[in-house]
Structure 1
Amino acid sequence: MTPRPAKFLPPGDKCVLVTGASSGLGRACALQLARVGFRVFAGVRRLPQGEELAALSPSGRIRPVRIDVTDEESVAAAVKEITGETGGAGLWGLVNNAGIAVSAPLECVTPERMRQQFDTNVIGQLTVTQGALPLLRRSGGRVVNVTSGLGSVAMPFLGAYAAAQFAKEAMSDVLRRELRRSGVGVCVVQPGAITTPIWGKLTDAARRDFDDVPPEAAAPYRTAFGRFLDASDQQTDTGTRPEDFARTVFRALTSDRPRTRYQVGKDARSLYLLKRVLSDRAMDRRLRAITD
């Protein structure tokens, strides 16, 4: 049986909110969506960053909105502002992209850093989703949750980040099932390694955090973790670009029958497939070189 060709819904001035739009993947996504005809509310923590982004879109389709996903009052204020500007049309899309990455051996991750990881990547995303749902219901819109290839496989020394991504994957599945009857769709975009500022921030913060770990806790990991961070600094180009991610988000927002998950990049696709075919022990052996 020949599969039905995919059909795409035109942007047609539909409104989309993208969180974490000041740099990296969020920035590329906001620019791409504005370029193809969406009206984009670009969520940023500092308005000057949003104004710089808006200046790159001569169409005037990017509207900066201050939003800190870890601050409930900030989220409520942003939703109120968007509601006032969209009127009865509501939102067609919410792209939950904001996030941070904590890197350390799990034994060395402080409760404070784990809370920051989950507050930003999980609880903050749910807070934004809850606030935006009334607007999404008006248009029968979509939630696109951005996770990672590490939402499929948990890598050593990225346990806090992977735990948050696994949680966001589970949250996405539940939302998709719970919101089905309301007409709001939910899908996940899993980017692999893409050169963006997040990786430089990750390694810089990881080295600072590790310097504060008590020597007796740090000792078993010092050599392997140092090697891991050095490799992250010298990360080879995977060939995947922020624009590839942005085009995938566009497909998730415009396909008439969107997939539940999209992988971006060969590494993300490989991790997703490996998780499906390898046993836990086989995966352990494959990742052993990182900690040896």
Structure 2
Amino acid sequence: MTRTSKEAPSRPVSRARQRARASWIFSAVLLAFLMAVVWFAPDRLAGFKQQLLAVLAALLAGLMAFFLTGDLGIQRSWLKASGGLGAFALLLFLWPKIVPSAGPEIYRLRVTVLGTQGPVDGAEVRSSVGGEKKQVEGGWELDVPAGILPADRKVTVYADKGFLHGSREVVLDKDFQPAVTVELKADSSAQVVGIVQDGAGQLVAGALVWVENHEVEVVTTGTKGEFTLAAHAAPNQSVRLHVKKDGLEPLTQDHPAGTPVTLVLNRN
């Protein structure tokens, strides 16, 4: 006669073990969530995203505290609820220290314009993306909204005064009150382009043309009386031109650089 063995019935998992398992699960989820936020979130979060993440993390912390108090042997519901609410409020309070807030949405770019003698007053200041300009002590301030910045966040600041010009590139990123210095320099990029003709309107070839104080750069007009030479001045800045040709009276004439000119030589 064979004796059959009866299998022992499986014991149900106790409520204490269930609570312990749940508390460890919530603890792991909360830890993973906070690590993901700290490691992968951008340096600054928009306001609504900041609030959403804070509430979600606080809820996880509250649930974790609720179950952990049960693991400690506390059976009173109001004590467990108090622990959960305390953890919820504590994480909400500490959240701004964990993830930086979005900060202001306007960059207040301080611009100082310098010339050869130091700071320059009365310069015209602007940026490549626009922005509100206002004069402040010692310079200018450009209020640039973050929403109008290009993808690379690079902005070029320009300054002009008379025939002096300058520019400086700046990257607007974490610092919402950056400062930049723009140095003014003389613009000598303009040229003088024109023709030489006589009093009868005939084009004069072989005439010598130069800019005052730059005689070594004298040029000779072509077969159609044309010439091009460096003005050593900014566009629209006045330069003094000299022209001479054998058999014709020499000519000295002032003309704005960068604009076409016709020089007329009268016969002797």
User: TM-score if structure 1 supplies the norm length?
Assistant: 0.20
User: TM-score if structure 2 supplies the norm length?
Assistant: 0.22
